Structure 1
Amino acid sequence: MGRLPEAFGYSPGSHSNLLPSQGIFITMAIIDQKYIRNFCIIAHIDHGKSTLADRLLEKTATVSVREMKEQLLDDMEVERERGITIKARAVVMKYKHEGKEYEINLIDTPGHVDFQYEVGRSLTCCEGAVLLVDAFQGVEAQTVANAFMAMEHDLEVVPCLSKIDLNHARPLEVAEEIEHSLALDATDICGISGKTGQGVDALLARIIEHVPAPSGDRQATLQAMVFDSHYDKFRGAITYVRVMNGTIKKGDRIRFIRGETNHDVLEVGQFTPRPVARDELAAGQVGYVICNIKSLELVNIGDTITVQGDKGAKPLPGYQEPKRMVFCGLYPSDGQDFEQLRDALKSLRINDPSFTFEPETSDALGFGFRCGFLGLLHMEIVQQRLEQEADIDLVQTAPNVTYQIIDRNGVTVDIHKPQDVPDAGEIETFLQPIVRVSLIQPSDYIGPVMQLCNERRGIHVRTEFLSPTRSMLVYDIPLDAVIYDLHDKLKSSTRGYGTMDYEIRGYEEADLVRMDILVNGKRVDALSIICDRVDADRRGRAVVKKLKAEIDRHMFEVAIQAAIGNRVIARETVKALRKNVTAKCYGGDISRKRKLWAKQKEGKKRMKSIGSVDIPQKAFMAVLETGEDRT
């Protein structure tokens, strides 16, 4: 810790210390491998990854001042609206260090736990990772997860503190947290400001000196890893590759090993950050390949590209397929828009293959699609993109996680929606997904956070103290109790200072039941949920109470019930709209009024038998409310 203050020496200044832009690099000779550096930036969400990427592009004169804008690599509309990175981006930069020109390939990665698979793909194509930590917020849950992931990939980790120009920054304490929680030497930590550009030159020098050059034989048979792709309506599928061995150039005949398809290479190039064609890509380089592929379904992420024929190389270890853990139904509010929704989902999946969809029907909502997502944020973003890009008004059912059932015959069945749950007599074992959750918070809030986890049937694993004032709790909690509201409740319990990260541990046996919601005696399949038997009564009462407030009064009485099988566990009644039929009766015999009331009652009864109940869209989200009155 002795040399630490010099590492964070801050002299006030603004963009005056940035290098002037010299234009975008276009032409390129094949560069020696020892002058190539491939790295990615990993961090917790909102710790400054995209801002640092902007300053790196400026410092290396990759982008001119005229073309520069904030969050340059986040070019999706939804990314700029939300201020987060959703898709990983690759960009090549040129930088001179000690008289030598280096080619530096940067891959900017997302920070949210839902897009962890994007981070994993980026790490496979790099030799180093810049671990960015906010100089005020310190080590967060996703910081720990990403750092360990980088270490598992045997990457050279370059620890770095961001936002050191802030008045409330505490670099010494945060550096101590990094050393304590991640076992990284605090004296090697760089201090930078993505806003002013201070310390970025020192970081570039550290990357060149500490990140190893890529290995690989350029004379060997072509072997390239596919780490991403997107679809261009004019040029077809654009495949992002990292060349491990050999070279690839225009006119080559290549083969996708996993996809078992052969193609002619029409163009190779690199992103600067706009695509620029090159003569060839050699071992160690990152770029793109265009082969006039008309469908992204032919491009498998994690596939290996090699030459066609008997001389082809062996496949590289690929990636695990992203696991969709959250499912919900999407229906057009106007049934006429079903085909329009299908076309919009197909179009969106071309550029985001991480979600799935299949047609389904609902008695309450008509025709729609069952969609699978990586998490709740991913679900929100897909829905937002559908509404923005396709201009479709959507009705979304309550999301649920994937369960497993072992039936009496010993067959394991995945359950993506409550309607698929068979009768209790056919179920031998009901399994639910369990996640290991890491929660980081100020030590003063350990009590409320532990209570929060215990309420969600969490099992305590361990407690670690990152510093005298910050601690990390680790719990095993059912996934369904995590995705709905744990993050929001954590923020509330810790006054905004708590963060969390989770990883899937597997499936465990649980006492689960399907709870149905009946409106006017009819089961509304879109409102059914799967929950723990212990929580069923509380959740049933909370849902019917919420629905009572959301469903408008009708001309007849509407009963709202929560039931498990044939047993009703909760009920609320929406009172009927009543007309005062005795308004014209002034005094006189009471029998006249009773006759009018009996006639009205008979009419209400007849109306209830043939009437239908209108359920508004927001009522379908009521089942998300878990209620505050936990027992």
Structure 2
Amino acid sequence: MTAPIDRIRNFSIIAHIDHGKSTLADRLIQRTGGLTDREMSEQVLDNMDIERERGITIKAQTVRLNYTAKNGESYVLNLMDTPGHVDFAYEVSRSLAACEGALLVVDAAQGVEAQTLANVYQSIEHDHEIVPVINKIDLPAAEPEKVKAEIEDIIGLPADDAVLASAKTGIGIDEILEAIVHRIPPPKGDPNAPLKAMLVDSWYDPYLGVVILVRVIDGALKKGQQVKFMQAGTIHLIDRVGCFRPKIETLDALGPGEIGFITAQIKEVSQTAVGDTITDAKRPTAAPLPGFKEAQPVVFCGLFPVDANDFEKLRESMYKLRLNDASFSFEMETSAALGFGFRCGFLGLLHLEIIQERLSREYDLDLITTAPSVVYNIFMNDGSMKELHNPADMPDPVHIDRIEEPWIDATIYVPDEYLGSILKLCQDRRGIQKNLTYVAGRAQLTYELPLNEVVFDFYDRLKSISRGYASFDYQQIGHREGDLVKMTILVNSENVDALAMIVHRSQAEARGRHMCERMKDLIPRHLFKIPIQAAIGGRVIARETIAALRKDVTAKCYGGDISRKKKLLEKQKEGKKRMREYGSVQIPQEAFIAALRMGDDK
């Protein structure tokens, strides 16, 4: 029996990183009896090891709770715990589309942060009822009244009826549940109309195959029903219908307004496009749902195995990871220096780091990551346009008319005392200041920045300059023309393709000098002199030289004529010259790993 539609509440929890979303979800599950005290663990819904260790949510998770309100009525609450980090905003947008309301969690000590804003605006776009919750009121530094004023000033939401809570100690949990029931509207839907359901998420389970998370809009989903995926055009037979409480529970059917999962013996996640409309194969709905934008990779980098024999293992591991992360894309590439590997696309630097860590942890792989780069649009003289993902593939500058790079609109919140250093950082990164306002004693900065300058180490620098107090959020605003050049690194006059990068002409020299200095420390000395050069086209812009190791050939001459010593030294000089012509420089893998380290420690 499906739940009556006026007793269903679908809501998500949105907040900045670390404001207590997952802990609040734990308390709600505990209070409604979703799990017994014995089964509870911290961050129940963060089921990846990496999520627990870093204390971040990567995948949005869903759970169905039964709650009996103070007026005696019983309700079904579908809760979606969403990620807070900007790289996973894609997960947030999908979860919000399946809900009617949201709990906006704000830290009572830190106040409104950059990502709080970004997620709230997404929620407002979906026309949600937003319930503000001021969390962590048990902290000594908590200032709930000040935070209420911030919510009203910055976001423009009335905050007099904000719920004061502490997810850690359980204060205010009952008030939050009552607010969900009374302030968030029930879903709308017609049980007699043809089936229309939205595919919210899908992942691969080794026992069940592909598990599909759905939100039913109209009609009902039943076991044994033949359904059609409108975008993919495929027909499947449903063999299981159920929900998570957070343990799996099978149901007979899902009615309008309900969120649950189905399995249909699908083997490939690629067949289940997120945002697709699921309808009855025999009695289809007239029009599909609008769906979602595809997740576009923003940052690209090469991943190569340290041991060339691990290439097949890496390929297999990537296919397995792709099963559960549709936003991760890759294609094969080769490099003269690093051998066979993959060019991978990510949603941002944290996404890159997480994938890299999952590959090394879950699949026991040692990887080298090349310098991250963004997608450039290259307009050729013949009027055609190419997308450039890998700096090593850049065409000859003679044939290029212009190069465009992606720009972003960045919002930075920072306490006043760090403002000067942050402004300098943005100026150094070719930023254009758009706005500077003060809200509740903190500066709100809006900058336009080239994404190329942000992917390298901007976030780390921002955090270290502000001692961790600055918060940062961005969205892309398209491509703009830039004076960009390809910088290559030559070791002993040979081009090292893995170290090629695209830089702005004004910064090429500094970046080149820095790279040469770093390589000089990393490459061991050989028996001959090794020049390390940074070049743009045929022009060398920076150079360092590694001195040769010298064998003392005159050691065995004691006394005697000086001409004999001279003869031996001349002979050694000739040999070194010949060696330099024919000798190849062995660059150890550790040198690549260190040179390509993300932190560009200038």
Equivalence for 1:476: 448
Equivalence for 1:144: 117
Residue 310 (structure 1) shift: 5.9
Residue 617 (structure 1) shift: 3.6
CA contact 2:373–2:455 (8 Å) conserved in 1:
no
Picking from 326, 350, 363, the partner of 1:377 is 350
Separation (CA, whole Å) in 1 of partners of 2:445 and 2:559: 73
1:512-591 superposed matches below 5 A? 512-591=484-563
Matched, 1:178 2:151: yes
SS in 1 for 2:160: helix
When residues 625 and 292 of structure 1 are mapped into structure 2, their CA distance, relative to the original with a 3 A threshold, is: closer
CA contact 1:88–1:110 (8 Å) conserved in 2:
yes
SS in 2 for 1:84: coil
Matched, 1:121 2:94: yes
Matched, 1:158 2:131: yes
User: What letter is aligned with 1:592?
Assistant: R
Once the two structures are superposed, residues 436-493 of structure 1 have per-residue CA deviations (whole angstroms, 9 ceiling, x without a partner) of 11000112222221111111000011112121x2121000000011122211211222
Matched, 1:610 2:598: no
1:382-421 superposed matches below 5 A? 382-421=355-394
Once the two structures are superposed, residues 59-79 of structure 1 have per-residue CA deviations (whole angstroms, 9 ceiling, x without a partner) of 111111110000110001211
CA contact 1:543–1:625 (8 Å) conserved in 2:
no
SS in 2 for 1:105: strand
Separation (CA, whole Å) in 2 of partners of 1:625 and 1:209: 49
Separation (CA, whole Å) in 2 of partners of 1:625 and 1:68: 38
User: What letter is aligned with 1:546?
Assistant: R
Matched, 1:240 2:207: no
CA contact 1:250–1:266 (8 Å) conserved in 2:
yes
Equivalence for 1:368: 341
User: What letter is aligned with 1:184?
Assistant: L
User: What letter is aligned with 1:133?
Assistant: V
CA contact 2:460–2:599 (8 Å) conserved in 1:
no
Residue 537 (structure 1) shift: 0.6
CA contact 1:223–1:313 (8 Å) conserved in 2:
no
Matched, 1:63 2:35: yes
User: What letter is aligned with 1:209?
Assistant: H
The aligned length equals 599
When residues 200 and 255 of structure 1 are mapped into structure 2, their CA distance, relative to the original with a 3 A threshold, is: same
Separation (CA, whole Å) in 2 of partners of 1:359 and 1:323: 19
CA contact 2:317–2:363 (8 Å) conserved in 1:
yes
Matched, 1:299 2:272: yes
Separation (CA, whole Å) in 2 of partners of 1:69 and 1:234: 24
In the alignment, structure 2 segments of 5+ residues that lack a partner are: none
When residues 213 and 328 of structure 1 are mapped into structure 2, their CA distance, relative to the original with a 3 A threshold, is: same
Separation (CA, whole Å) in 2 of partners of 1:125 and 1:443: 39
1:135-284 superposed matches below 5 A? 135-284=108-257
Residue 605 (structure 1) shift: 2.2
CA contact 2:193–2:219 (8 Å) conserved in 1:
yes
CA contact 2:24–2:167 (8 Å) conserved in 1:
yes
User: What letter is aligned with 1:191?
Assistant: L
Picking from 502, 505, 509, the partner of 2:474 is 502
Matched, 1:511 2:491: no
Residue 600 (structure 1) shift: 1.5
CA contact 1:266–1:291 (8 Å) conserved in 2:
yes
Matched, 1:487 2:465: no
TM-score, structure 1 length as denominator? 0.93
Residue 583 (structure 1) shift: 2.0
Once the two structures are superposed, residues 394-445 of structure 1 have per-residue CA deviations (whole angstroms, 9 ceiling, x without a partner) of 1221111111111112222111010121111111120000001100011222
1:87-106 superposed matches below 5 A? 87-97=59-69, 98-106=71-79
Separation (CA, whole Å) in 2 of partners of 1:327 and 1:126: 33
Picking from 325, 329, 347, the partner of 1:352 is 325
Picking from 86, 89, 92, the partner of 2:58 is 86
Separation (CA, whole Å) in 2 of partners of 1:311 and 1:117: 29
Separation (CA, whole Å) in 2 of partners of 1:253 and 1:418: 48
Separation (CA, whole Å) in 2 of partners of 1:616 and 1:200: 57
Separation (CA, whole Å) in 1 of partners of 2:490 and 2:242: 59
| Paired-residue identity, % | 51
Residue 41 (structure 1) shift: 0.6
Equivalence for 1:430: 403
Once the two structures are superposed, residues 249-287 of structure 1 have per-residue CA deviations (whole angstroms, 9 ceiling, x without a partner) of 001000001111000000111011122110100110000
Residue 175 (structure 1) shift: 1.5
With 304-313 and 503-512 compared, the bigger mean Cα shift is at: 304-313
Separation (CA, whole Å) in 1 of partners of 2:323 and 2:600: 35
When residues 190 and 625 of structure 1 are mapped into structure 2, their CA distance, relative to the original with a 3 A threshold, is: closer
Separation (CA, whole Å) in 2 of partners of 1:211 and 1:178: 19
Residue 216 (structure 1) shift: 1.0
Residue 587 (structure 1) shift: 4.0
User: What letter is aligned with 1:114?
Assistant: D
Picking from 274, 287, 298, the partner of 1:325 is 298
User: What letter is aligned with 1:84?
Assistant: I
CA contact 1:541–1:571 (8 Å) conserved in 2:
yes
User: What letter is aligned with 1:354?
Assistant: S
SS in 1 for 2:319: helix
Residue 199 (structure 1) shift: 0.3
Equivalence for 2:262: 289
Separation (CA, whole Å) in 1 of partners of 2:318 and 2:284: 40
Separation (CA, whole Å) in 1 of partners of 2:351 and 2:106: 24
Once the two structures are superposed, residues 209-256 of structure 1 have per-residue CA deviations (whole angstroms, 9 ceiling, x without a partner) of 111100111111111111111111222100001111110000100000
Separation (CA, whole Å) in 2 of partners of 1:271 and 1:285: 12
Once the two structures are superposed, residues 477-526 of structure 1 have per-residue CA deviations (whole angstroms, 9 ceiling, x without a partner) of 00011122211211222222111011111100000011011111111111
CA contact 1:463–1:474 (8 Å) conserved in 2:
yes
Residue 116 (structure 1) shift: 0.6
Equivalence for 1:465: 438
Equivalence for 1:592: 564
CA contact 2:203–2:323 (8 Å) conserved in 1:
yes
Separation (CA, whole Å) in 2 of partners of 1:299 and 1:156: 30
CA contact 1:307–1:313 (8 Å) conserved in 2:
no
Residue 195 (structure 1) shift: 0.7
User: What letter is aligned with 1:46?
Assistant: D
User: What letter is aligned with 1:92?
Assistant: R
User: What letter is aligned with 1:515?
Assistant: M
Once the two structures are superposed, residues 148-179 of structure 1 have per-residue CA deviations (whole angstroms, 9 ceiling, x without a partner) of 11111111111111111111111111221111
User: What letter is aligned with 1:446?
Assistant: L
Picking from 35, 45, 48, the partner of 1:76 is 48
CA contact 1:542–1:625 (8 Å) conserved in 2:
no
Residue 312 (structure 1) shift: 3.5
User: What letter is aligned with 1:123?
Assistant: L
Matched, 1:109 2:75: no
CA contact 1:562–1:569 (8 Å) conserved in 2:
yes
Separation (CA, whole Å) in 1 of partners of 2:210 and 2:431: 44
Residue 48 (structure 1) shift: 0.6
Separation (CA, whole Å) in 1 of partners of 2:40 and 2:454: 39
RMSD: 1.3
CA contact 2:392–2:500 (8 Å) conserved in 1:
yes
Residue 110 (structure 1) shift: 0.6
